[in-house]
Amino acid sequence: MNRPRFIRPARLLCATGLATVLAACSGDRGADSASQATAAAQQQSAALALVPLPASVVPGEGRFALSAGTPLLAEGEAARTVAGQFAALLGKGRGVEPALAADGTDAAGAIRFAIDPARTGAESYLLEVTPQGATVSAGDAAGLFYGAMTLLQLANVDDAGAVSLPAVRIEDAPRFSWRGFMLDSARHFWSVDQVKQVIDAMALHKLNTLHWHLTDDQGWRVEIKQYPKLAEVGGCRIPAGDGGIEPATGKPRPYCGYYTQEQVRDIVAYAAQRHITIVPEINQPGHATAAIAAYPELGTTGQPLAPSSEWGVFPNLFSADESTIRFLENVIGELIPLFPGTYFHVGGDEAVKDQWEASARVQERMREVGAKTEMEMQSHIVARLEKYLAAHGKRLIGWDEILEGPLPAEATVMSWRGIEGGLKAAREGHDVVMSPSGDLYLDYLQTKSPEEPPGRPASIPMEQVYNFEPVPAVLEEDKRQHILGLQANMWTEHTRTFDRLQHNVFPRLAAVAETGWTPRERKDYADFLRRLPAQLERYRSWGVDYAQTPFQVDAVAEDDRTAGTATVTLVNPLGYEVRYTTDGSEPTAASALYASPLEVTLPARLRATAFDADGKPLAAARDYAWDAAALLTRTDEQLATCPDAGRLLLRLEDDGPADGERAIFNTTIFYPCWQWNGADLGGVAAVKVRAGRIPYYFQLAHDEPARRFEPARSAHGELDIHAGGCGGERIASVPLPAKLGPDGFVELVAELPQDLTGRHDLCVRFTGDTRPQMWVLDRATLQLR
């Protein structure tokens, strides 16, 4: 569904830091020498453009030419495997695929891959390139693979199409042992091929841990032979609204999917070949609706359930019975042979205890095991699972809520509610993976652009991801070894397609990778931005569909109605150079450089592009056109959230059509209200609002009391307009209709008092309960007299 867009202004981020020096320096130097060294380091870094940045890079002179005839030398199965992977990826990305030479071959002008037992340090490697050849050596297969990934990044194509490697010596090792990414397959199901695409991209970023979220309220995604209904029943849900209706028949349209155990083995083996360990997650005692739907006896209330089509925090908990614990052990027992890694994730988050508190059976069970509180009951289950896992050679890991009760010493904590849980766990002697929602949740939007897909509009931009530090300065020195590393999480409630998943993940995953790999003292955001365009080119050659929004130019125009002019602000979210034209031509590196807001006479047209340091465009030019009539309209993206609208602003998708593109709306589910700040109401006769309705598909648990709405004064509620914000005087009201138009929208015209003048904060809100459907605003227009 197409609709006009108004571009909201975003804060211009300036890349002002200095690049880290690539070769170690010692002794005192004058300011000029230091400046020269820094400039040289920046040039070297930009020329090599490696992501993540290695620990030590010493550039050499000259280049080594690569061709299909370049022999690859490798002895032993591990080295030959890596050589073959390098050749295949080079062929995919650069169109040149060298052949693996026979054992014992010693050819000039070759690339050598070697396992060197004398080299120490897990996952470390040495890479040396001269004009005569290249060598990658490592003490283990993982290090050799990562050296090959760096070699792959070094392979550049010149204007004539020739592929070569710059002369360089790189000694490298990762900073952290856990460099993770979490994929949520429970909310939306990803095919085997799509999961493998994620694994491929992780490997290219030197990430080594895939946390696979396989169960939740909305779906159980893995076959358990002892409990077949988990996948057959728990793996299907009916989406909310029109998305859950088959258009041709009007019958329910289930959304289904699960991985067979054979598919899991295939994916795990595929990841292992790329030195990625998969950590499965079976969530308990909360996020259990899909499992209870399959086997109601597992629940606390005994009431029948269905896998949910809603999002949020649910009340449904597994029971605390011994039979339920045995069920969890049986499930884990079937999965252990499929996942040979060390860790098994048992969830533990957002387990609202209302059902346990109300259950006489659970209360009796608590007395049996000596649990004084419901959290201690959860801890009892965690301890049982930890013991079971330990007996099978596994370590338990769970979300930071498992710290709220007694926790086995061997348990590892994944800190998602900020870093506080991680600090507490490390100080108590537990290993920790830092994964705070405010910095590393990739379902949060990455820019303020209206072109962002559905998600959480509370944005986490690239700079914030890059600057997250997993080892807090306040953590005592003797506890810092407990920080295993970091992990970015991709929850998929609002991510319906794989294209959108890639949009959310890339390029921010590159920032996560650099934090996980690169020494802290060598990280520098400005230098990272200089290297990022080369990474984008690799994404294109590897087939990674990264987000365009961070590299586009956003624009906003504020009009002066009396003068017939507008002030236009341009911004690139990452702070790259912006150039523009006003004659409709394509912007180039020689076009006008944007430096400050532009005064234009209406009507006006503008095209704008962001450029890297080499003068290359980072994304396609964006076209903008304004006239006096267009500037009287604001979409929901441009309107502000009312100050008293509560938290949890979301960017939500319409529920239909069943297939294809859908309209997207910014709204807060706690209070349906939008605000046009500083609206010029002089000469305005009415406000026209285009509005629609979507299902209210949220469970809020203990946040439910925060949901507010204004009581309806008529059968279907009203559209109210207030001046002076939502607490100001109501100046107009229109009854809401019982039905919408054929396109799913309705246009409402609220006439304003004739004596209004000047600028006002105009509040637009709908009355009436938001359940089972909620009103959403598409756009608002000021209609002149």
DSSP assignment of 626-658: E-TTGGGEEETTTSEEPTTS-S-EEEEE-S--S
Closest CA to 288 of 346, 362, 367, 211: 346
Alpha helical stretches, state H, 16-110:
31-48, 77-94
Q: Please tell me whether residue 704 adopts helix, strand or coil conformation.
A: helix
Tokens of 187: 């909310």
Tokens of 160: 């004539």
What secondary structure letter does DSSP report for 31? H
Q: Could you tell me how far CA 293 lies from the centroid of its own chain? A: 29
Task: Taking the CA atoms of 709, 715, 719 and 723 in sequence, report the sign of the dihedral they define.
Answer: negative
Closest CA to 282 of 257, 318, 242, 245: 318
In the chain the first and final C-alpha atoms are separated, in Å, by: 30
d(CA 106, CA 112): 10
Residue 766 sits at φ, ψ, to 5 deg, of -110, 140
The letter for the amino acid at 80 is R
Burial of 239 (0-12, 13-18, 19+ CB in 10 A): buried
d(CA 220, CA 228): 11
Tokens of 212: 């696979």
Q: Could you tell me how far CA 36 lies from the centroid of its own chain? A: 38
List 232, 350, 410, 537, catalytic entry: 350
d(CA 127, CA 5): 49
**String of b and e for 130-159 (b: at least 16 CB within 10 Å)?**
beebbbbbbbbbbbbbbbbbbbbbbbbbee
Task: Taking the CA atoms of 479, 480, 484 and 489 in sequence, report the sign of the dihedral they define.
Answer: positive
* Residue whose pair of structure tokens reads 């609709």 in the numeric block: 3
Is 350 considered catalytic here? yes
Contact 568, 596 (CB under 8 A): no
Tokens of 5: 């867009």
What secondary structure letter does DSSP report for 446? S
d(CA 476, CA 96): 50
Longest CA–CA span in the chain (Å) reads 93
Residues 6+ apart with CB under 8 A from 191: none
Q: Could you tell me how far CA 220 lies from the centroid of its own chain? A: 22
Q: 31-48 and 525-542 are packed helices; what angle lies between their axes, rounded to 10 degrees?
A: 10
- The residues annotated as belonging to the active site are 350
